Structure 1
Amino acid sequence: MTTGLIGAVNNQEVREMGTTNAAAPKYKGKRNRLDRPELLAPAGNLEKLKFAVHYGADAVYIGGQKYGLRSNADNFSFEEMKEGVEFASRYGAKVFVATNIYAHNEDIEGLESYLRSLEEAGIAAIIAADPVIIETAQRVAPKLEVHLSTQQSTMNWQAVKFWKDEGLPRVVLARETSFKEIAEIKSHVDIEIEAFIHGAMCSSYSGRCVLSNHFTDRDSNRGGCCQSCRWKYDLFVDDEPVYEEGQEQFTMGSKDLCMIEYLPELIEVGVDSFKIEGRMKSIHYVATVVNVYRQAINAYFEDPENFRVKQEWIDEMNKAANRPLNTGFFLDTPGAEDHIYGPEEKAAPYDFAAIVLDYDDRTGFATLQQRNHFKPGLEVEFVGPGGTFFRQTITELTDVDGQPLDAARHPMQHVRVRTLKPVKPMDMMRKKIRK
C-alpha cells in the first residue's frame, strides 16, 4: 500500500480484486493520431502556460475573456494568446481554449467574432459543451478543432459516436467514467479520448451544479462557481446541531484525483490525452504535477515491461497536493472515505519560495525572483524539469548588487543565493513550512 496522501492500492492488488470494474481492460485498437498519450496541463495565465510547457506539457488549455468556466482565473487577452502560442510552438506544444459555458441568449452576441479571433491567434482547438458554440466554430473557424467538454457528461460509446458523427475529433469524458467504460468506448468508436487524471473533483455531476447560483447568484455553468461544496456547514438532526461548538464542520468536498499509480492502465485502456485540472492553481502546483507525469510517461515508453512507479514521483506529487488524493471513478464508485467530511488531512507542508532567473557558473550564485519569504539558514529544495532535484541550506543571500540580506521579504524581489549545484532559468525553489 502507498503511504502519504495518495491512498490508492497498487496495481497488483487491483488486478487481484476480481471485481467487474476494478482492473483496467486493455484497448488493442489504433491510437488515432497520437503515438503516445498527450499530457495536457492547465494554465490560468501566461506565466503558468510557460511553466507548464517548460516542465513537459504537450498541450495546455487556457481561458479567454469570454465563454469559459473559470471567470476568476486571470484568463488571456488575444495578444497573450498569441504570445502563448508562439512560446508553446517552440517546444512543439499546442494551446487549447475553454469555451465551455452553457450559453444563454445574451451570450451569443459576438460569438462568431470571438471564435475567428481564436483561430487567428493560432489556437489549435476549443473545448466546448454547448451545441451552438460547437456548430458556430465548425462554420466560421474551420481551422479550430472542437473538443467536446466534460461538461457534456459523456459516458457511453453511443454518445461518443454521436459526437464523432458531428465532426468532433476528441471527446473529454465525464469524470464519472470508469476504466471498464473507457475500454468499451474505445472498442466501438475510433476517436481521441481525453480524461482527467489529476486534480480537483466536482461534487456535482461533471460540474453541473446550481448550488453556487442559489447561494451567491453566481452561475457555475457560466464561469462563476463559488465552490460552495468546499464551504463548511452546520448539520442538524431534528433541529439539534450535530457538531458542538469548536468542532470541525461538515463539507461536501471530494478528495482530489491522482492516477500516477495507474499510468500503465491509462495507456493500455486507450486514453489519448491525460488532462490535469487546475487553471486556478499555482505555478508550483502546475509545474510539479506536469513534471511528475512527464517523467512517468517517458519512463513507461522507454521500457513498458519493466515500468515501476517511483516513490520519488509520489513524494513530489504530495508536495504539491492541495487535498488528500484518491482514484476517483476509475476503479469503482467513490464512497464516504473519498470525501472530506471532517477535519481535512493537510497536504505536505511545502511553499513555493522563488523562481530561478539566472545562474553564474563562475561564482555559483543564482539570481532568484522571490515568491515567498525566505532567509539564510533555511533548508530549501531546488526542482527543475526532468527530475532535477537537490536540497540545501541557504548560506549566502544578497541583493543583485552583492549586498548581504538578512531575508528576502519583498514579493517579486530579485536576490542572489549561492547554490550547491548549477541551476537553470525557470527552476523552482521551495521551502518546508514550519509548524
Structure 2
Amino acid sequence: METVAVQRKFSGKRNRLDKPELLAPAGNLEKLKFAIHYGADAVYIGGQAYGLRSNADNFSFEEMREGVEFAKKYGAKVFVATNIYAHNEDIEGIETYLQNLYNAGISAVIVADPAIIDVALRAVPGLEVHLSTQQSTLNWQAVKFWKDEGLPRVVLGRETSFEEIEEIKAHVDIEIEAFIHGAMCSSYSGRCVLSNHFTDRDSNRGGCCQSCRWKYDLFEDAREEGVWVSEEEMQMQAPAPFNLGENQIPLFEKQDNAFSMGSKDLCMIGHIPELIDVGVDSFKIEGRMKSIHYVATVVNVYRQAIDSYMADPENYVLKPEWVEEMNKAANRPLNTGFFYDTPDHEDHIYEPEEKAVPYDFAGLVMDYDAATGMATIQQRNHFKPGDQIEFFGPGGTFFKQVVGELQDEEGNVLDAARHPLQRVKMKVDQPISYFDMMRKKK
C-alpha cells in the first residue's frame, strides 16, 4: 500500500472538537464483540430484514439485545443497517420492526429509502436515523435537505472528495460519516444492476452477487466483418469453456488473463490528520462479511492512529507498523479512493488478484498465568510446535515467537492443535491478555 504524507491543509475548522467516532462492521455477535474490544466506538449490524447483506449472519432481536449490553460496557453504540430500497411488499411490518429495534436498545438505523425514513421519524422518534451511503449524497444542498428533514447524520457517497467534504461542512452543521476503509463499488455506490440481470439477485435488496469481481471474456460478432468462423474453432480459441453464440469470436487468447472490473480497496490509514481536520465525524470501515481477524486488525490500527493524532496533533507520525498491520489484513491492493481525485485505470484490478492476506487467525487467548508464562489458547486454525506465530491485541500489543510444547487441558502433550475451538496450553514469551489474538503465516 502506498502511503502519502498530508497533502494539503484545510481552510475550515471542525464543527465538533471531540474525537471522531470509529465505526466498525459486525456481521455477527462474535464480530461485534471483537470490533468493540479492539477499539470501535460504534458498530453497524444487519437485522433479519430490510438490510443489504442478506448472506451475512444477521442478528435476531435477542442477539441485538446481547450486543447492545456488551457495547454499553465499553461505552459503545450499535447501529442497524435498514438500507434496502423497498418495494411495495417490503413496507408492511416496517413500523413494528423499527419499534423492536428501539426496544432492543439500538441507537440508530441507517436508511436509504425515503418511505422507511418517514416511518422511522414519525413512528419511532427516539431512534436516530442516519442517511445511508446508498443515497449517493455528494453535495451540501442535498445534505442540507436531509438535515431539514430531521436527520442528524449523513453517510456520504464513496465518491465524495476532500474538497467536497470541506464545502459540505462549511455550509451545513451536521454529522458527516465517511467510509475510510474497505471494498469499493465499481458502480456508483450501490446503484449497480449487473447482479439483477445476471443472477436475478437484487443488489438494492441485499442480494448482490459481486458480479464486478467475476472474470469476463470479450467477443466480437464475425458477421459484422464478413468473416465466418465455425463454432468448433471459436471454442478452441476461448480461454475457458463458454456457451458461445453463433459467429462470436473471443478476443482473448487461451493464455490471456480473464478481464475483471474490480476496484482496489480503500485504505486511509496514511491520511488520518486530513480526515479529522476536514471535519469527518465518523470514520466508517466496510466489511460485515469479512473475517474476525480482518475486523480486529483494521479497527486496532485505526484506533491507535486516531488516538495518537488527538493526543498530540503537532507531532503525529504515521507509524510503519500500522501500515504493515493493514497489509496483513488486506484482501486486495489498496488506494485512497475518491478522496484526492477520480480513480483511473491504475485503481482497478485487471490481472488475477494476488491474495494479499498471508496470515491465518490461529488462536484466541482465553487465559494467561503470569507466574508460569502459560497461556490458554482457543484454536481457530491448525497450528503445531515449530510454527512461527504472532500475538497482537488492543492498543498495540505485538510480538513474535515460535510455538513450543502444546498441552491439552489435562496436561497431555499434543503434536498439534488440530480441532476447531480446542483449548490448548502453551508457554508464551511475553505477557498477553484475554481476547488477544494469535496468527500465523499461511
Conservation of the 8 A alpha-carbon contact between 1:26 and 1:268 = no
For 1:109, give the aligned amino acid.
E
Aligned to 1:274, the other structure's residue is in SS state: strand
User: How far did 1:415 drift?
Assistant: 1.4
Q: Which residue of 1 aligns with 2:277?
A: 268
Q: Which segment is superposed worse, 356-365 or 83-92?
A: 356-365
* CA deviation profile, 1:288-322 (whole Å, cap 9, x unmatched): 00000000000001110111100000000000000
Counterpart pick for 1:227 among 201, 204, 210? 210
Conservation of the 8 A alpha-carbon contact between 1:8 and 1:327 = no
For 1:402, give the aligned amino acid.
G
Counterpart pick for 2:85 among 92, 95, 102? 102
2:10 and 2:259 map into 1 onto residues whose CA distance is: 37
For 2:2, give the aligned amino acid.
G
Q: Which residue of 1 aligns with 2:286?
A: 277
Aligned to 1:146, the other structure's residue is in SS state: strand
Structure 1 residues 69 and 310, CA, compared in 2 at 3 Å: closer, same or farther?
same
Aligned to 2:413, the other structure's residue is in SS state: coil
Q: Which residue of 2 aligns with 1:28?
A: 13
For 1:383, give the aligned amino acid.
F
Counterpart pick for 2:5 among 4, 10, 20? 10
2:9 and 2:415 map into 1 onto residues whose CA distance is: 54
2:169 is the alignment partner of 1:160: no
TM-score (norm 1): 0.94
2:219 and 2:367 map into 1 onto residues whose CA distance is: 57
Q: Which residue of 1 aligns with 2:100?
A: 117
Aligned to 1:138, the other structure's residue is in SS state: helix
Conservation of the 8 A alpha-carbon contact between 1:356 and 1:368 = yes
Q: Which segment is superposed worse, 345-354 or 34-43?
A: 345-354
Paired positions, count? 416
Aligned to 1:221, the other structure's residue is in SS state: helix
2:335 is the alignment partner of 1:333: no
Conservation of the 8 A alpha-carbon contact between 1:24 and 1:180 = no
User: How far did 1:235 drift?
Assistant: 2.2
TM-score (norm 2): 0.92
Q: Which residue of 1 aligns with 2:319?
A: 310
For 1:145, give the aligned amino acid.
E
For 2:19, give the aligned amino acid.
R
Counterpart pick for 2:198 among 215, 219, 222? 215
2:112 and 2:75 map into 1 onto residues whose CA distance is: 27
Counterpart pick for 2:439 among 412, 430, 434? 430
2:34 and 2:359 map into 1 onto residues whose CA distance is: 19
User: How far did 1:402 drift?
Assistant: 1.2
Counterpart pick for 1:346 among 347, 351, 355? 355
User: How far did 1:422 drift?
Assistant: 1.7
Q: Which segment is superposed worse, 296-305 or 235-244?
A: 235-244
User: How far did 1:10 drift?
Assistant: 2.9
1:379 and 1:120 map into 2 onto residues whose CA distance is: 47
1:76 and 1:127 map into 2 onto residues whose CA distance is: 15
Q: Which residue of 2 aligns with 1:413?
A: 422
User: How far did 1:168 drift?
Assistant: 0.2
Q: Which residue of 1 aligns with 2:43?
A: 60
Q: Which segment is superposed worse, 356-365 or 173-182?
A: 356-365
Conservation of the 8 A alpha-carbon contact between 1:41 and 1:276 = yes
Percent of aligned pairs sharing the same letter? 75
Q: Which runs of 4+ in 1 moved over 4 A?
A: none
Conservation of the 8 A alpha-carbon contact between 1:367 and 1:415 = yes
1:224 and 1:116 map into 2 onto residues whose CA distance is: 25
1:405 and 1:260 map into 2 onto residues whose CA distance is: 41
Task: Work out which of the two has the higher radius of gyration on C-alpha atoms and give 1 or 2.
Answer: 2
Aligned to 2:288, the other structure's residue is in SS state: coil
User: How far did 1:62 drift?
Assistant: 0.3
2:11 and 2:272 map into 1 onto residues whose CA distance is: 12
Residue segments in structure 2 that go unaligned for 5+ positions in a row: 222-247
Conservation of the 8 A alpha-carbon contact between 1:26 and 1:270 = no
* CA deviation profile, 1:342-369 (whole Å, cap 9, x unmatched): 1223314111111111112233221111
User: How far did 1:414 drift?
Assistant: 1.5
User: How far did 1:29 drift?
Assistant: 4.3
Structure 1 residues 243 and 401, CA, compared in 2 at 3 Å: closer, same or farther?
farther
2:377 is the alignment partner of 1:371: no
Q: Which residue of 2 aligns with 1:144?
A: 127
User: How far did 1:237 drift?
Assistant: 4.8
Q: Which residue of 2 aligns with 1:19?
A: none
Counterpart pick for 1:174 among 154, 157, 163? 157
Q: Which residue of 2 aligns with 1:3?
A: none
* CA deviation profile, 1:126-170 (whole Å, cap 9, x unmatched): 000001111111111111100000000000000000000000000
User: How far did 1:286 drift?
Assistant: 0.3
Conservation of the 8 A alpha-carbon contact between 1:38 and 1:59 = yes
2:391 is the alignment partner of 1:382: yes
